[in-house]
Copies of this chain bind each other. A is one copy, B any other.
Amino acid sequence: MPIITVEALPGRTIEQKRGLVKDMTDAVTRNFKCEPEAVTIIIHEISQEHLAKAGKLRIDW
């Protein structure tokens, strides 16, 4: 703990994901005063036909 789940559209590079998990872990340890080893992050990629807002699939925006 903490365990963090990120739901995001696909299309980011490994380099972007590398940066994200580093910076999010820093954000957690700085504010919640815990060790980096305690922070787990999981990314779920959600395709454009599996996300909707205002009743419309992302593929139809």
For A, the interface residue count at a CB cutoff of 8 angstroms equals 50
Is there an interface contact between B55 and A21, defined as CB atoms closer than 8 Å?
yes
Within 8 A of B (CB), among A2-61: 2-9, 12, 14, 16-28, 30-33, 35-37, 39-46, 49-57, 59-60
Report the copy number of this chain in the oligomer.
6
Contact, CB under 8 Å: B4 / A4: yes
Contact assessment for A51 and B1 in the assembled complex, using a CB-CB cutoff below 8 Å: yes
- The one of B25, B26, B56 in contact with A52, judged by C-beta atoms closer than 8 angstroms, is B25
- Which residues of chain B have C-beta atoms less than 8 A from A54's C-beta? 25, 35-37, 39
Please indicate the chain B residues that have their CB under 8 angstroms from the CB of A20 in the complex.
27-28, 31-32
